Amino acid sequence: MDAPTTGGPTQGSDTAGGASAAPDEWVLVTDDPLTDYHPAFTGNGRLAARVPAAGNGFAEAPVRTQFHVAGLYTGRGGEWSRKASLPAWTTLDVSDGSGSFNDAFSSVRATGEQLVGGDWAAVTRPEAGAARGIERYRQSLDLRTGVITTEARWTSPAGRVTDVRYQVLIDRSRPHVGAVTVTVIPHWEGTLVVNDTLDDRAAARTTPARQGAGAGRIWTVTEAEGSGIVAAVVSVLDAVAAPRSPAGEGTAAQTVTVRALPGQAHTFTKYVSVVTAHDADDPHAAARAHADAAARAGYGRLADDNRRAWAREWEGDIVVRGDARLQRQVRASKFYLLTSVREDSPWSPSPAGLSSDSYNGHVFWDTETWIYPSILAQHPQIAESVLDYRVRRLDAARAYAADGGHSGARFPWESSLTGDEDTPAWAPFGRLEQHVSSDVALAFWQYWLATGDERWLRTSGLPVLSAVADFWTSRVTADAEGRCHINGVIPPDEYAEGPHDDSVYTNVAARAVLRFAARAAERLGQPADPRWTDVADRLVIPFDQAQGIHPEFTGYEGQRIKQADVVMLAYPWENPQSAEVTRADLEYYVPRTHEEGPSMTDSVHSIVYAELGDAKAAFEHTRRSVEPFLRPPFEQFAEARTGGAFTFLTGHGGFLQEFLHGYSGLRWRADRVVLAPILPDPLDGIALRRLRWRGRVFDIDIRHDGTTVRLHAGEELPVEAAGQLHHVPAGGEVRLATRTPLADR
């Protein structure tokens, strides 16, 4: 019997069978593994797994289930480095001898364009597969804990009926540990077989060094191609004293056989550890120790510790009142960001994080511009770890600038293991999309504004800011009148391959960074290079007086653009310009933006409309920024309406900024926070929980009749709103006016 094809994504409890439970707004659920199904992934910021419809193991389609660990990159091999993926370590298959549970699921890969070099993989609407003998199916993702639960009643080819329930947990409290547990209730008598495997079909760009099984463990030690980075995966199987049989010498598999009786439940749990050479001198020994310790602790202890670790992260919640689906989308977006970052990780997320090798797992401006601001607001410790990736590669950025004949530091358009330029040679963006250095610097400046950490500013912030400022002072060209130009670049709008002179985004960003560096040096009592402010004051900022707009670059004639570019002068760069100019830029460029462009564009449009007081347009663009891009049933972003990178953290991060910085108007300052709250009519409220600024912890609760700022910890909080300065007392609150939308004035 095939699984039912009705239903689809729902809200609900992760408990199947019996009386229906009250819906749980934190749990994403589907009862259909076939129709428009895109598998979820889960992770703890260090390692992650995509979980297929079967609830464990490997599946090629509809989306390849990949298993990643931070920092596992190949060598460049004469071209560019790529993220390497591990064997499927979640496999714990169940069999009655006539077939297995995993074999009951199959699917067909949808056709789609595969661009050069594997840099971009299409994720279109998947074709329906098959789920033979599957009934009572349910799969859920609990956003509070990252646990993915899969339940079904399976009828084997021999006609035997078995209830199966899987849980996949990647422990946020233990960065190197995951666990898979399966409970099997046979409704027949005979031999039940459970297969624990590290499935090499999921591995990519690695070379197995050795594999084995014994003493209840299986293991794989592998090396990333070219780089030689070693990764070890060890699985310890707890099968309640059942005998284990290694599959064979040199094979990472073992089998457990038990006597099945009708209605008698059997539970099997595998404890897995993944360790790379970045983390230990002997990854295999370390992984074995972590897996053994997890097995001794037991699944219940891991689940409790994981729940507590996630609860600390979810103190920083975003509450959306009046739209249950939008609330789920917001929480899902935050969850997916957190699966790929953590406080103690020296790695930075790629556009798809740890979910896949989309864009080769490289780090782009996506991190600092789209992902990072949604982390900084509520998780500054994690934000610092994200920035540490750039600090560790500052010497490589200096070498890159020197190779081009410039001073200072130039960060690469695509970065991976070493911090060298890793853009494929066929793409011009690595040579010409140089604004990325300013995007990195902006993230560093934002961290200083949000935390006030002078130790960090001295050891990490100023070295990066000053190095990027030095790059721009050496990169500009002065004309006969003394004006400074930045020539021969590609702006954020990648349809404008050019190269072009005086990209307004590039120039505004460079000018801002030059001034950031001077202010940071002044704060620390260190001398600032006088060229920084001199060049900043002389940089050309193109402006069309007749149309009242900023042209995208010198010679721009109104052609279609790929994504947000000029509109980003208002946010995140806060370029000093009138509201009239901001609106003119917005109204000029929004209709010229390609509808098939990337998902994060409309998030900027929404934020800028909110800044201008147009809540109706802001909310329209909020809908546009999410609805065409989310893939069911687990609310994951694809890069574009037609597919692209998946799961696209860039889209998730931009979407969250609409709530953290758009409707709140939250902007960081060194001596206060600035708010300009506004609420679209379709919503009843937005609450931002446990925001953090310079030792303070506070909430913002936006309602139509007013906005409340509550201070939970720290000294008095200075808040500017509508040009007035308010002081929120320790443990107290202040009431502010919520702006009236333009349409209601």
In terms of domains, do 103 and 239 share one? yes
| 145: in domain | yes
C-alpha closest to that of 599 among 545, 561, 551, 653: 653
Q: Which of 497, 525, 553 is the last residue of a domain?
A: 525
Burial of 250 (0-12, 13-18, 19+ CB in 10 A): exposed
Angular region, 735: left φ>0, alpha ψ -120 to 50, beta rest: beta
| 546 half-sphere exposure, CB direction, 13 A CA radius | 1
In terms of domains, do 98 and 189 share one? yes
| 109: in domain | yes
C-alpha closest to that of 360 among 406, 421, 422, 438: 422
Active-site residue, 151 included: no
pLDDT at 118: 34
In terms of domains, do 150 and 15 share one? yes
Q: Which of 313, 329, 356 is the last residue of a domain?
A: 313
In terms of domains, do 307 and 438 share one? no
| 698: in domain | no
Contact status, residue 532 vs residue 518, Cβ threshold 8 Å = yes
C-alpha closest to that of 692 among 454, 378, 386: 378
Contact status, residue 221 vs residue 211, Cβ threshold 8 Å = yes
C-alpha closest to that of 92 among 238, 261, 209: 238
Cβ of 196: how many Cβ atoms within 10 Å?
28
Q: Counting runs of H as helices and runs of E as strands, what totals does the chain give?
A: 17, 33
In terms of domains, do 280 and 401 share one? no
- CATH code for position 23: 2.70.98.40
The helix (H) or strand (E) run that includes residue 156 is none
In terms of domains, do 406 and 510 share one? yes
| 213: in domain | yes
| 585: in domain | no
C-alpha closest to that of 295 among 194, 144, 180: 180
- pTM of the prediction? 0.94
| 51 half-sphere exposure, CB direction, 13 A CA radius | 28
| 660 half-sphere exposure, CB direction, 13 A CA radius | 30
In terms of domains, do 403 and 275 share one? no
From the list 414, 433, 611, 639, the catalytic residue is 639
| 342: in domain | no
| 538: in domain | no
In terms of domains, do 308 and 398 share one? no
Rounded to whole angstroms, the Cα distance separating 359 from 123 reads: 13
From the list 223, 313, 494, 635, the catalytic residue is 494
The helix (H) or strand (E) run that includes residue 455 is helix 454-456
Q: Which of 295, 313, 331 is the last residue of a domain?
A: 313
In terms of domains, do 401 and 309 share one? no
Contact status, residue 728 vs residue 710, Cβ threshold 8 Å = yes
Q: Which residues of the chain have pLDDT under 70?
A: 1-22, 78, 107-129, 240-250, 745
| 157: in domain | yes
Q: Is 27 helix (H, G, I), strand (E, B) or coil?
A: strand
In terms of domains, do 292 and 153 share one? yes
DSSP string for residues in 390-403: HHTTHHHHHHHHHH
pLDDT at 243: 62
In terms of domains, do 309 and 399 share one? no
Range of the domain at 475: 393-422+431-525
The helix (H) or strand (E) run that includes residue 303 is helix 299-313
Rounded to whole angstroms, the Cα distance separating 38 from 32 reads: 11
pLDDT at 249: 61
Burial of 429 (0-12, 13-18, 19+ CB in 10 A): middle
Q: Domain count for the chain, please give it.
A: 2
Active-site residue, 494 included: yes
